[in-house]
Amino acid sequence: MEYAENILGTIGNTPLVKINKLTEEVDALVLAKYETFNPGNSAKDRMAVKMIEDAEAAGLLKPGGTIIEGTSGNTGMGLALAAIVKGYKMVCVMSDKQSKEKMDILKAVGSEVIVCPTDVAPDDPNSYYSTSKRLSEETPNSWYVNQYDNLSNTKAHYESTGPEIWKQTDGRITHFVVGVGTGGTISGVGKYLKEQNPDIKVWGIDTYGSVFKKYHETGIFDEKEIYPYVTEGIGEDILPKNVNFDVIDGFMKVTDKDAAVYTQRLAKEEGMFLGNSAGAAIKGLLQLKEQFKKDDVVVVLFHDHGSRYVGKMFNDEWMRKMGYIE
């Protein structure tokens, strides 16, 4: 009989799917690494379990403990599933720009959800970074995950996502394109792929209001680059330790409007019901099309599921209110 011992055993080995209509003008084979097939519907399941296992091994997370994390939703979901299986309590700290669906889904799997304002500096005591850290100091027998600086995040993708992509493309991948938030996916996958073939190009998709692109190009952390943006799951106003700029060849920025519009287009033209960062990733890839040649194999990673965004990018009333559609 074939079965997993628990739900965590179904993480990984997600399919590669060819993109057809949206990439008609791209002179290369474009394949999506479709991470919504993970049980928590996102790539973050991989690193959530890895971070917990490494914390257990290091004695940081003890039986009956409380896991505390600041999350835009998907890491929280992965952590929550692992917490259920392993017998921990879960507290998710989120910013108020995240969709209601994300908050409701986390509550549905037994997590406590605390909401903080978006429009404050990372070191403000009310920010979700500061709040999650403070809660971990105040809560007995708790562990603060810190996915931004916890290098088990990168390690998870180095050990699983990267090797899967290499094997699935039979080593023919030439470009890897992915939205960058904590940096774990691009850094782990990028490091693994470049070790197999240093000629593989690794492109990060960034958003306007985030520091990554300018910092990568100039080495300057420019606070004037930082302002609130709508796109969820990518971009940062900090430099997480998981972002390994050495394995990234370049960044491409995508507007909030384009990310939202292309999230809808993936659903309506490819049958791919995906999250907001997928819209940004495919639009960024299209903006990079001059980089690709006829025999290239371009893999774009799609992080999460459309069900998280039904009240936003998949709601025409919201899209009109934002000025994204007529």
Express each pLDDT in 76-106 by its tens digit.
999 999 999 999 999 999 988 888 888 999 9
- What CATH number corresponds to the domain at position 138? 3.40.50.1100
Which residue range is the domain that position 63 belongs to?
44-144
Q: Please report whether residue 150 resides in a domain.
A: no
Tokens of 54: 């490494």
Query: Cα angle at 235 between 233 and 239, to 5 degrees?
Result: 120
**14 with 79, same domain?**
no
- Cβ atoms of 149 and 240 within 8 Å: the answer is yes
44 is catalytic: yes
Q: Where are the beta strands (DSSP E) in 88-188?
A: 89-95, 112-116, 142-144, 175-179
**26 with 169, same domain?**
yes
**18 with 55, same domain?**
no
Question: How far is the C-alpha of 221 from the C-alpha of 215, rounded, in Å?
Answer: 5
Instruction: Catalytic residue, from 33, 44, 50, 283: name it.
Output: 44
Question: How far is the C-alpha of 102 from the C-alpha of 265, rounded, in Å?
Answer: 21
Check residue 72 and give its pLDDT: 81
Question: How far is the C-alpha of 114 from the C-alpha of 139, rounded, in Å?
Answer: 14
Beta bridge partners of 203: 177, 250
Q: Please report whether residue 152 resides in a domain.
A: no
Question: How far is the C-alpha of 7 from the C-alpha of 11, rounded, in Å?
Answer: 8
**296 with 234, same domain?**
yes
**199 with 279, same domain?**
yes
Which of 91, 109, 144 is the last residue before a domain boundary? 144
**264 with 313, same domain?**
yes
Neighbours of 25 (CB within 10 A): 7
**282 with 188, same domain?**
yes
Which of 144, 168, 201 is the last residue before a domain boundary? 144
On average, the pLDDT of the chain sits at 96
Question: How far is the C-alpha of 184 from the C-alpha of 157, rounded, in Å?
Answer: 7
**50 with 34, same domain?**
no
Q: Please report whether residue 149 resides in a domain.
A: no
**108 with 257, same domain?**
no
Q: Please report whether residue 241 resides in a domain.
A: yes
Q: Please report whether residue 76 resides in a domain.
A: yes
Question: How far is the C-alpha of 249 from the C-alpha of 64, rounded, in Å?
Answer: 43
Question: How far is the C-alpha of 236 from the C-alpha of 74, rounded, in Å?
Answer: 16
Q: Please report whether residue 271 resides in a domain.
A: yes
**23 with 130, same domain?**
no
Mapped onto helix, strand or coil, the DSSP state of residue 146 is coil
Residue whose token pair is 């980089």: 291
Show the low-confidence residues of the chain (pLDDT under 50): none
Tokens of 169: 């493309």
What's the pLDDT tens digit per position in 262-306?
Answer: 999 999 999 999 999 999 999 999 999 999 999 999 999 999 999
**112 with 171, same domain?**
no
Check residue 73 and give its pLDDT: 86
Check residue 99 and give its pLDDT: 83
Neighbours of 1 (CB within 10 A): 2
Q: Please report whether residue 1 resides in a domain.
A: no
Check residue 254 and give its pLDDT: 98
**301 with 169, same domain?**
yes
The total domain count for the chain is: 2
Q: The whole model's pTM is what?
A: 0.95
Q: Please report whether residue 214 resides in a domain.
A: yes
